[in-house]
Structure 1
């Protein structure tokens, strides 16, 4: 009779738990990089306004504009950095889809309240050339009051 060997998921769970605990919600690298660039270009903002739908990462009241800095994994961006997890797939799929749905609802609420909304994806901050282009594109959009929504 052969012995059935069950995989040891305790190491995977402990590693996953440690990795997840290290992920920050605020003051992430992409967010800090965007904040520094906007501040250097003379723009002033507030952080995490709880009064607004979705608690935007940056609020530029002068322009009635909010910025969400989104991680490609957590918010299901259609880019090369987003991949569905293979372990505990059902849990992660539900969690990520819920995040994306909540994002869409919050954006719609803000647009309905006449706020301009920018979603700045993590992948556009990773490489310097992409980032410089996205900062320039944001500034052009900010000075064009016709457009209510921008995704970088």
Structure 2
């Protein structure tokens, strides 16, 4: 599923965030200390190799909504942008912090002259953010941020499961 706004295309696909060779940057749904973990962070760290954790360690801890950038190491991507999403029911206000993740990652990527970026569904795993609500917050933020971008031409959201894929497709369709 695709939608083009201005000169930027938003894509929703089903796949593995750590296997997006045509993207300059991927986004890690990171933990505060930017270390290896479960879910998306674990998949990205396993694919990138131990150099990623070594590079990231001095950058942590980060707060919910913040984004930092590292190299891609053994990934096919030049960069990894690490965002700490909110824990649903704990980090308040959840919607603002989740929006900050997407906005800050996009602005950081654009500043680095990155043209393509892939996101996972931030905070919807172990952090418990309801998938439909997260999709709406994320897509509204992405769409609202596009007019402020000068370099990014492709924004991809990569969903691992079929249910999440269907939720995000429906949200993008409006």
Same fold per superposition (TM over 0.5): no
| Between structures 1 and 2, the one with greater strand share | 2
Greater percentage in helix: 1
Q: TM-score, structure 1 length as denominator?
A: 0.37
User: Of the two structures, which has the highest relative contact order with CA contacts closer than 8 Å and spacing of 6 or more?
Assistant: 2
Instruction: Answer with 1 or 2: which has the greater Rg.
Output: 1
